[in-house]
Copies of this chain bind each other. A is one copy, B any other.
Amino acid sequence: MKAYKEMSRDELLTLKAALEEEYKEEQAKGLSLNMARGKPGFSQLALSMKMLDEINSSSDMRTLLGNDTRNYGDLDGIGECRQLMADMMGVKKNNIIIYGNSSLNIMYDTISRSVTHGVNGSTPWCKLDKVKFLCPVPGYDRHFAITEFFGIEMIPVPLDNNGPDMDMVEQYVNNDAAVKGIWCVPKYSNPSGISYSDEVVRRFANLKPAAEDFRIFWDNAYCVHHLYEDEQDEILNILDECEKAGNPDMAYMFASTSKISFPGSGISAIATSETNVEFIKKQLTIQTIGHDKINQLRHSRFFKNIDGLKAHMAKHADLLRPKFEAVLAELDKELAGLEIGSWVKPRGGYFISFNALDGCAKAIVAKCKEAGVVLTNAGATYPYGNDPKDSNIRIAPSFPTPEEMAAAAKIFVLCTKLVSIDKILESK
């Protein structure tokens, strides 16, 4: 394939005319496809339906320790569910607190509590003039929304295939006491799909924060969300590494079963040092009498143990893989060599991150929408919705069928080509 930038003005104009015809044909099909959010597809939801049979009116409602899940008690979660989440997150049961249905809610709570009450005895952030968070980019818009909501200044940090730019992270964290946290999706990152290298994780654990209340917000959302049985990323355990480095309390790890069982009806957990667990429980005991233990029992009995959960994730992978591959095949076939975009083939997670020519992302997303394909808003993967290069686009292939994904990907590459040609023509 000849790179577009090597083409003459005339070549580009001829190509554009042909592509515009194609676009009109696609538009005429009247598609309506949504690739905006990491929403499991119908077939994925069906995988967990049998979980709903685990608990019925004749079930023994007691935990392994004999506690009645139907009544008050077990503030930090029932034992077997804490064990399951601990095994999934690679930590000990004592490091786990089970929350409600949403790990995002735990992250919100954790920041909210830091704002009103500080961190393990530090000054509440609301009493400080300035609080800053580092935000590896591209990243997860809902993380950025939380820090923005609390008036926390967000500083973008570039992410490469090994993780965030650690020179920059160290520079900020070790010198600026206003930097209180960093958002990380360390495995199958949202949206780039990359996983942090061992060196990156170790450099995180060995930070020497200027702020005593600096915390790593380690959103391990995709810890068991592989696409391939034989090609899985493994990352180092941040809690273990922090402990080794003499920073035992520096990291909060988050996870949920939202994309394992049911989004909105799953189980979420935080994993952190026992010191942090004790501090968090002091707030939790004020906030609630306990979370939904019947749902914890339902999950524990359905998955049985970490092996059961992993076997379940292999079924998810079988359903997701063809969708990812449909997009990747189209990108490879239609865009390779044109030098109008780059992407990484992820081994897990929920997204494909596409970097268009600078200044093209918004126009591509808009053009896709006109042809019935809705993508995440361009810019959403950056703090304040502001991608300074207007280049990154997040593709979420999970919800449509593989056939729909192929159709959507066709429109996506077509729009990318058309917008890129216009951009290149501007400078010819």
Contact = CB atoms under 8 A, between A and B. Distances in A.
Given A116-B126, A262-B294, A289 B71 contact: no
Interface residues on A, range: 35 or more
Interface string A131-170: 0000000000010011001100000000000000000000
A343 B48 CA distance: 52
A292 B289 contact: no
A233 to B, nearest CB: 25
B72 A263 contact: yes
Interface in A60-79: 61, 68-73
A55 B57 contact: no
B57 A53 contact: yes
Contacts of A264: 69-73, 289-294
A40 B149 CA distance: 39
Contacts of A286: 108, 142, 145-146, 149
A39 interface: yes
A283 interface: yes
Contacts of A59: 52
A363 to B, nearest CB: 27
A288 interface: yes
Interface centre among A37, A51, A288 (most CB of B within 10 A): A288
A313 B142 CA distance: 40
Contacts of A61: 45
A331 interface: no
A52 B58 CA distance: 9
Contacts of A42: 68
Nearest to A73: B264
Interface stretch (A99-107, A378-386, A404-412): A99-107
A428 interface: no
A71 B56 contact: no
A124 interface: yes
A14 interface: no
A2 interface: no
B45 A52 contact: no
A189 interface: no
A292 B295 contact: yes
A143 to B, nearest CB: 11
A399 to B, nearest CB: 9
B49 A108 contact: no
Nearest to A50: B57
A265 interface: yes
Nearest to A146: B286
A396 to B, nearest CB: 12
Given A52-B55, A56-B56, A116-B126, 17 more contacts: A40-B71, A49-B57, A71-B262, A71-B263, A71-B264, A72-B263, A73-B264, A100-B291, A100-B292, A108-B286, A116-B116, A126-B127, A142-B286, A145-B286, A146-B286, A146-B287, A264-B293
26 contacts: A39-B71, A45-B61, A48-B70, A50-B57, A51-B57, A52-B57, A52-B59, A53-B57, A69-B264, A69-B265, A70-B263, A70-B264, A100-B292, A101-B291, A102-B288, A104-B288, A108-B288, A112-B116, A115-B116, A116-B126, A126-B126, A149-B283, A149-B286, A263-B289, A264-B293, A265-B293
